[in-house]
A and B are shown apart, each in its own frame.
Chain A
Amino acid sequence: MSAIVLLVTVPLLAALASVVWPRRAPDLVAGAVALGLGAALWLAQAVWRGGVQLVAPGGWGAPLGIELAADGLALAFVLLGAGVMAGVVLSARVEMAPARAGPRAGFGFWPLAMLLWAALNVAVMSRDLFNLYVAIELLTLAAVGLVALGAKPATLVAAMRYMLFALAGSLLYLLGVVLVYAAHGTLDIALLGARVAAPTDALALALMTAGLLAKTALFPFHVWLPPAHAGAPAPASALLSGLVPKASFAMLLRLWFEAMPDRATPGALLLLGGLGAAAVLWGGLRALGQPRLKLIVAYSTVAQLGYMFIVFPLSAQVDAWTGAVFQALSHGLAKAAMFLCAGVFILSAGGDRMADLRGLARALPMTGFAFALAAVTLTGLPPSGGFTAKYLMMTAAFGAGQWPWALVLAGGGLMAAAYLYRPVTALFAGERAAPARAVPRVVQLVPLVLALAAIALGILSAAPFEALQIGRPEGAP
């Protein structure tokens, strides 16, 4: 399946090319994204018609060679990645152009974004624990690099802290992988699903999970996320918040639902769900008190990632799994839109404190509207992808007889409304004191398209729902 190969090679070549010809990087990357978007759509129709698509580069299948496979879950994240990447690359053409952003950010952004994209695609399509390790490592390094583009000292400290958390996470994950290999002699997820259980499995799963939690920034491993995501340049933040945590979450889903569903004890599942609930509450509370828009949006990511982990205690319910993936997708779109909005506001008003935002929607109606639409999705109000996700997960919670999780979902929505209300009213409040600088129309339009896509995910949820069932793991714990 050549689309899968393209989805990995095109970003890698584009990364290389934009290092070689840095001044042409925005155009090279735009071409690569157009090609990659086409490949993603081609893959989508192939999966929709023919089910799971496999490719084994070099002709060696698992367990000897590397195998990449696109099932419904992988396809969903590939499409999300391509869509968000297209939006980010379009709107970064002005802000991150080498001539404007300077040598550091202007030359660093483009290859790092492409590396990140390649790593994301591998991380969601690979079925081998070690390949996954390589992919997530590459993803983390690209992400840390993107944070470090923000040249302020505080941001560099944040990047360093991110790096430490991520490396510790990698180490834990790798330890787990070693234990698995020692016990079973294979790292292929499908083969592991059918393995004979070994005594070290529980420890291996715990180590790998802890490593991935640090990378996903689940509470209480979230402390690196807000300063890092808020400090990076806005287009980079959109990739960091919208895409990066989704890769490690997808790996967690594969580990717990496909590789070792038999090791998922009720206590462990409850712990994961409980951490998710704590993230929803803590992220929401902290977002309420933030003075700057990008910090509010970053803490909101902490909260929104928490929802997805409620899938674990509800894993016996089909709807919970689909709901969690819907949440990942709609959060990815809406959060990318929000960070790009924040970028537009900063370009136009020079800052992102509430006072800077006052009345900005009058000068930037499309972007103001986009921010409000993204807020609707994050709050989980219909008709939006966020609502579909929340409805599916609430139904699953009641179906499993565990209604307190539904309380977390409902309360989290109210908190999201509360912390997003401040920026929304500031944007739409009365007259603006200082004049707003003009921002190119394309840059204003991109977040609106992403926010509308998050809404469309709710209105047209039948097809994505069905696509997600392709190759969905049977082995729910």
Chain B
Amino acid sequence: MSALLPVAVLLSSAIPAVATFFLAQDSHGLRNALTLGGAVVKVALIVAMLLAVAGGAAHEARLPLAPGLYILLRIDAIALLFLSLSAVLWLLTTLYAIAYLGGKPQLSRFFGFFSLCVAATTGLAMSGSLISFFIFFELLTLSTWPLVAHKQDAPSLRAARSYLAYALPGSAALLWAIVWLESLTGPVVFTDPPALDALDPASLRAIFALFIVGLGAKAALVPLHGWLPVAMAAPAPVSALLHAVAVVKAGAFGVVRVVYDVFGPDSVAALGVGTVLAAAASVTILWGSLRALRQTEIKKRLAFSTVSQVSYIILGAALASPAALIGGLAHLVHQGLMKITLFFCAGIYDERAGVKTIAGLDGLGWRMPWTSVCFSVGAMGMIGLPPLAGFVSKLYLGLGALEAGAPWVLAVLAGSTLLNAAYFLPLLFRLWFGTPAEGASGDEAAPLLVAPAVLTALASLGAGALAATAVSPLGWAELIVTGGYAR
């Protein structure tokens, strides 16, 4: 137990964030050193904690705001799952962003908010109480808005407006739910969920619905997903971050927290809201995939794929069976690794070859082999080919559905897999078997851009191939669930 560790983890990105705002545009060295330094320190801190936390240790810190209102930071196994995902992917995204944005204007502002965004996600992962979670959830909204609007052209500003138009009503719903629930139970701490048996079921159902609306606006749960495809106007590193680590994951992670640490799986089942949530997640999974099929831009197709894939995590939480939760939590990491690979690659295609549309991918595979192999690994993982990471998630979700007595979920999973294949395979076909257009150009002579994609592709291969070992995301998810998380 140490109160310093959570604070140190938070400061490792908060300090660079604040400092970066004061740097001049052309002090590249100092800015990169700050941003990367913070990211490296955070990863180091997390690695140093891993073994102890796996053994059941927890670190807790309390920062008082007002009587009854304090920020509770707690690092335990489930917090560390999200924490390590964000820390590692952030380090890689930082490398990628430095290469991608080199020489473009307003870099100090960009990296300042970029680090602030990590700080918010880090705080979110460590939040030990509902109100702490809300505070970081909103900090995340505020720090991602300038990133989405970064290019300051009309599409970016439209995207940023659309983002807030969903996020702010969502946050109002979330705050409403929190204050309502806490007025009935007192402050909710995740390690000590409130007793809900004596409360009015109709109120509880309404509170649960408000929670899901608030979190679903971030997790892009249909019909609250409209902002995500529009947000593609942002620079590629921001898209990578939005889709793999920060915003949508914050929503999905929040749903896990609400189902397991606020209501508890028993109450969720007793209230009958679990099935409804599972149905909403299933609709999202299928609808996202169907919409992805019809997109002609690479990033748009990936965006709708995110809509679909993030709901696997929500499905895993909603089914409320141990195997499904393991699958959902593992997918939190798996989806992050695969989707960030895909977005890194999409950014490289755009930046190095000027290709934005799917039709432009024809024959690009042989000219940009590193990028295209990574893209293929990510896409096949999304489809769920064994032994890639996506397969492992789907396997556990399927097992969990049977365990929970909801065999219809298998049909959703099968349908989604078919649709995943239908929207990803044409891309792979074009990459490797298409004939390049006249005068097409493009190379990948930018090692700093390509290296992060290679690393995440390797990680998603490893996460699937080594799923049976304790060091994999699945192993960690099993540790969380068997370690008494799902009471």
Interface positions of A (Cβ within 8 A of B): 322, 365, 376, 379, 381-383, 387-388, 391-392, 394-395, 397-399, 403, 406, 410-411, 413-414, 417, 421, 425, 428-430, 458-459, 461-462, 465-466
- Inter-chain contacts of A465 with B (CB < 8 A): 66-67
Per the bound structure, the CA–CA distance linking A383 and B135 in Å amounts to 6
Q: Given contacts A414-B168, A425-B157, is CB(A392)–CB(B66) below 8 Å?
A: yes
Per the bound structure, the CA–CA distance linking A406 and B179 in Å amounts to 9
**In the complex the two chains form, what is the Cα distance from A387 to B109 in whole Å?**
25
Given contacts A388-B69, A398-B179, A421-B164, A382 and B172 within 8 Å (CB-CB): no
Which residues of chain A are near B171, meaning CB under 8 Å? Answer: 381
Cα distance A406–B175 in the bound complex, in angstroms: 10
B104 nearest CB across to chain A (Å) = 14
Contacts of B168 in A (CB 8 A): 379, 413-414, 417
Residues of A within 8 A of B139 (CB): 382-383
10 interchain pairs, CB-CB under 8 A: A365-B109, A381-B141, A382-B139, A383-B139, A395-B179, A406-B180, A413-B168, A417-B168, A425-B161, A429-B157
Q: Does B169 contact A (CB under 8 A)?
A: yes
B65 pairs with A428, CB closer than 8 A: no
B152–A461 contact, CB under 8 A? Answer: no
- Smallest Cβ-Cβ distance to A426: which chain B residue: B157
* Given pairs A382-B138, A394-B175, 8 additional interface contacts (CB within 8 A): A365-B109, A381-B171, A382-B139, A387-B138, A421-B161, A428-B149, A459-B65, A462-B66
Contact among A398, A413, A429 for B152, CB-based, below 8 A: A429
Cα-based distance from A430 to B154 in the complex (angstroms): 8
Residues A381 and B179 in contact, CB atoms below 8 Å apart: no
- A376 cross-chain contacts in B, Cβ below 8 A: 142
Query: What is the interface of chain B mostly: helix, strand, loop, or mixed?
Result: helix
B299 to chain A, nearest CB (A): 22
Q: State the Cβ distance, A354 to closest chain B Cβ, in Å.
A: 13
Cα A322 to Cα B135 in complex, Å, equals 20
Min distance, Cβ A227 to any Cβ of chain B, angstroms: 30
Contact A430/B149 with A391-B179, A394-B179, A406-B176 known, Cβ cut-off 8 Å: no
In the complex, what residues of A have CB within 8 A of residue B142's CB?
A: 376, 381
A265 to B153, CA, bound (A): 56
Please name the 10 residue pairs, one residue from A and one from B, whose CB atoms are nearest each other, closest first. Answer: A398-B183, A382-B135, A465-B66, A410-B172, A394-B179, A462-B64, A461-B66, A382-B138, A430-B152, A461-B65
Say if the beta carbon of B182 comes within 8 Å of chain A. yes
Q: A382-B135, A403-B180 are in contact. Are A462 and B152 (CB under 8 A)?
A: no
Residue on A nearest B151 in the bound complex, by CB:
A430
Cβ–Cβ < 8 Å partners of A387 in chain B: 135, 138
Which single residue of chain A is at the shortest CB-CB distance from B108?
A: A365
B176: nearest residue on chain A (CB-CB)? A410
- Which residue on chain B has the smallest CB distance to residue A422? B161
The residue of chain B having its C-beta at the shortest distance from the C-beta of A369 within the complex is B21
Task: List CB contacts (< 8 Å) of B98-147 with chain A.
Answer: 109, 131, 134-135, 138-139, 141-142, 146
A398/B180 contact (C-beta < 8 A), A417-B164, A429-B152 known: yes
B residues 173-189 near A (Cβ < 8 Å) are 175-176, 179-180, 182-183
Q: Which residue of B lies closest to A410 (CB)?
A: B172
Chain B residue, CB-CB nearest to A430: B152
Contact, CB under 8 Å: B66 / A428: no
| Bound CA span A429–B179, Å | 36
Please measure, in the bound complex, the distance between the C-alpha atom of A413 and the C-alpha atom of B431, giving whole angstroms: 49
Q: For the complex, give the distance between the alpha carbons of A171 and B164 in Å.
A: 47
A430 partner residues in chain B, CB cutoff 8 A? 152-154, 157
Q: How far is the CA of A393 from the CA of B330 in the complex (A)?
A: 40
Residues of A within 8 A of B64 (CB): 462
CB of A281, distance to nearest CB on chain B (Å): 15
Roughly how many angstroms separate A387 CA and B180 CA in the complex, as a whole number? 16
Residues of B within 8 A of A462 (CB): 64-67
Bound-state Cα–Cα, A466 to B138, Å? 25
Question: Nearest Cβ in chain B — how far from A6, in angstroms?
Answer: 31
Chain A residues with Cβ below 8 Å from B67 are: 462, 465-466
A421 to B163, CA, bound (A): 12
- List B contacts of A421 (CB < 8 A): 161, 164
Q: How far is the CB of A400 from chain B (nearest CB, A)?
A: 9
Cα A376 to Cα B109 in complex, Å, equals: 18
A398 proximity list for chain B (CB < 8 A): 179-180, 182-183
Nearest residue, chain B, Cβ from A390: B175
Q: Which residue of B lies closest to A468 (CB)?
A: B66
**Closest Cβ–Cβ distance, residue B65 to chain A (whole Å):** 5
Tell me the minimal C-beta distance from B418 to chain A in angstroms.
Answer: 41
The complex places the Cα of A376 from the Cα of B168 at a distance, in Å, of 11
Q: Which of A398, A459, A466 has the most CB of B within 10 A?
A: A398
Least CB distance from A464 to B in Å reads 8
Q: Which of A376, A379, A410, A458 has the most CB of B within 10 A?
A: A410
A6 to B116, CA, bound (A): 43
Smallest Cβ-Cβ distance to A323: which chain B residue: B66
Which of A376, A387, A399, A466 has the most B CB atoms < 10 Å from its CB?
Answer: A387
Question: In whole angstroms, how far apart are the Cα atoms of A414 and B142 in the complex?
Answer: 14
Contact B169 A414 (CB under 8 A): yes
CA of A421 to CA of B162 in the docked complex: distance in angstroms? 12
Q: Which residues of A contact B154 (CB under 8 A)?
A: 430
Residues of A within 8 A of B160 (CB): 425
List, in ascending order, chain B residues with CB within 8 A of A411's CB.
Answer: 172
Q: Which of B131, B157, B175 contacts A410 (CB 8 A)?
A: B175
Closest Cβ neighbor of B150 among chain A residues: A428
Looking at A391, A397, A414, the one whose CB has the most chain B CB atoms below 10 A away is A391
Instruction: Please tell me which one of the listed residues B138, B152, B157, B176 contacts residue A381 in the complex, with CB atoms under 8 A apart.
Output: B138
Across-interface contacts of A414 in B (CB, < 8 A): 168-169, 172
A388 pairs with B161, CB closer than 8 A: no
Which residues of chain B have C-beta atoms less than 8 A from A365's C-beta?
109
- Residues on A with C-beta less than 8 A from B157 are 425, 428-430
CA gap between A410 and B135 in the complex, in Å: 15
How far does the alpha carbon of A459 sit from the alpha carbon of B141 in the complex, in Å? 17
List the A residue with the shortest CB-CB distance to B131: A391
Nearest to A417 among chain B residues (CB) is: B168
Report the nearest A residue to B181, measured CB to CB: A398
> Which residues of the partner chain B approach A382 to less than 8 Å between Cβ atoms?
134-135, 138-139
